[in-house]
Amino acid sequence: MTMMQSGMLLESIGWFLVIGGILLIFLALILSFRHTDDGTTQLRTESKGIIFLGPIPIVWGYGKRTRLVSLIGIIAILLFIVFMFLA
């Protein structure tokens, strides 16, 4: 596989992930509006997430165990990014 072909492959994968993410957001919005509430249940919402500001990850809304799992994921993503730049 030549350099140009691998670049086009990575670009295609990137576009696929972006479009897939947008479709998932729209699907979640549609499903959240379809939920009917009969008034007998209480709705509890939580906010959890990870934001990358450059190489610095910000994690919020997780318990101790889930925070550890998310930090391992963040480290894996950062290592992947570093190895992509070194290759």
Nearest to 13 by CA among 5, 25, 1, 3: 5
Cβ–Cβ < 8 Å for 59, 67: yes
pLDDT tens for each residue of 9-33: 888 999 999 999 999 999 988 887 7
- What's the pTM value of the predicted model, to 2 decimals? 0.42
Give bridge partners of residue 79 from the DSSP assignment: none
Q: Is 80 exposed, middle or buried, given 0-12, 13-18 or 19+ CB atoms closer than 10 A?
A: exposed
- Residues in contact with 43: Cβ distance below 8 Å, sequence separation at least 6, in sequence order: 37
Give the pLDDT of residue 58: 75
Structure tokens at 83: 């190895």
